[in-house]
Amino acid sequence: MEQMRDFNQWLSTMTDSIADWTYYVDFPKVYRNVNEIKIPLNIMNSLLGSKNIRSEFLELLDKYPEILKAIPIIVAKRLNDTILVKDVEKDFYFKFKKPNYSPEEYADFMEKSGVFDLLSNHLVANLFDYVTGVEVGMDTNGRKNRTGHTMENIVQSYLEQEGFVMGVNLYKEIYQNEVEELFNVDLSAITNEGNTSKRFDFVIKRDSIVYLIETNFYSGGGSKLNETARSYKMITEEAKTIPNVEFVWFTDGQGWFQAKKNLRETFEVLPYLYNINDLKNGILKELL
C-alpha cells in the first residue's frame, strides 16, 4: 500500500492503555510465590512478639535452616538475589538459598536491617499476609512485560481472525535462523551477516511474501522508545534488500508523543507501521 498517510493524524490515534483485568496484579503468581515458602514463614511466625528474638532466631535457624529462604522476601528481595550490605568494616554479600555466612552474621543482618524490630514489636499480624503484600508490590514491576504480552495477544487475535493458524502459516517468537529454514530466505542483511540472532514476535507467510512482525506498546516515554524506532528504521532499510520479505511493526501507546521525532523518521520509510486503531479499521485486509 503506497498511499500517503499523515503522521500527526496517525499519532493522534494512539491509545492511552491496553490494560486488561489482570494487568495490575498477577495474583496467581503472587499466591504461587508465597505458597512456595509457606512453611518457613509459618515457622518464622513464632518470632512475632518475641522479647529475646536474636537467641530465638538462632535456635530456630539451628533446628530449621530452611527459614533462611523466607528472609529475602521480607526485605523485598528474591531468594536467588545476593543481598549486598556495605558496612564500615567490610562488605557483605548475603546468600539465602545456600548460606555463605555464620548464623551470628545472619542474625546481624536481621537485626541491623530492621527485620527483628518488625517481628519483635509485633508490627505485623503474621508473615504470610505480610509477604503476600510484599509480593503484590513487587509484582507491579512486571506490568511493563504484561503490557508487551497484551499487545502481542491483540495482534495475534487479529491475525487469527484473518485465517492465520499458529504453526501452519503463523509463527510466534521465532528466531531468524528458524525463519530462514522454514521459508528458504536469507536474512543475513538484517542480522549483521549472521553475527546476531534476531527474534521476531510473529512471522507469517501470504502467497510468496514472508512478513516479519514486531509488536510493542509504550504508555510512557524514555530512551527505549528512541532506540526502538531507530532500530526498526534500520531493519526496514535492511529488509528492503531481501526479495519477498517485508517488515511490519505494530506499536501503540501515548509514550510515543514524547519520542515522535524518531518515530516519524521510521514512519516515513516503513509503509507497514500500524497501531491498534489501524487493526480495528481492517488494515490487515488491506495489507494481506
pLDDT in tens, 72-115: 999 999 999 999 999 988 999 999 999 999 999 999 999 999 99
Whether the predicted pLDDT of 2 surpasses 50: no
Whether the predicted pLDDT of 193 surpasses 60: no
DSSP designation for 13: T
Express each pLDDT in 118-162 by its tens digit. Answer: 999 988 999 999 999 999 999 987 777 778 789 999 999 999 999
Whether the predicted pLDDT of 8 surpasses 50: yes
Closest CA to 170 of 208, 211, 198: 211
- Rounded to the nearest integer, the mean pLDDT of the chain is 92
Asked whether 74 and 134 are in contact (CB, 8 A), the reply is yes
The reported pLDDT for the residue numbered 196 is 64
Q: How far apart are CA 274 and CA 50, in angstroms?
A: 61
Residue type, 49: G
As beta bridge partners, residue 91 has 86
Asked whether 177 and 185 are in contact (CB, 8 A), the reply is no
Express each pLDDT in 48-68 by its tens digit. Answer: 999 999 999 999 999 999 999
The reported pLDDT for the residue numbered 191 is 67
The reported pLDDT for the residue numbered 123 is 84
In this prediction, residues 170-179 reach a mean pLDDT of 94
Higher-scoring residue by pLDDT: 195, 104: 104
The reported pLDDT for the residue numbered 1 is 42
Express each pLDDT in 11-34 by its tens digit. Answer: 999 999 988 888 889 999 999 999
Express each pLDDT in 229-242 by its tens digit. Answer: 999 999 999 999 99
Asked whether 100 and 93 are in contact (CB, 8 A), the reply is yes
Express each pLDDT in 254-270 by its tens digit. Answer: 999 999 999 999 999 99
Asked whether 27 and 273 are in contact (CB, 8 A), the reply is no
Whether the predicted pLDDT of 194 surpasses 70: no
Q: How far apart are CA 244 and CA 200, in angstroms?
A: 17
Q: How far apart are CA 44 and CA 71, in angstroms?
A: 9
Phi, psi for residue 287 in degrees, rounded to 5: -70, -45
Q: How far apart are CA 70 and CA 23, in angstroms?
A: 27
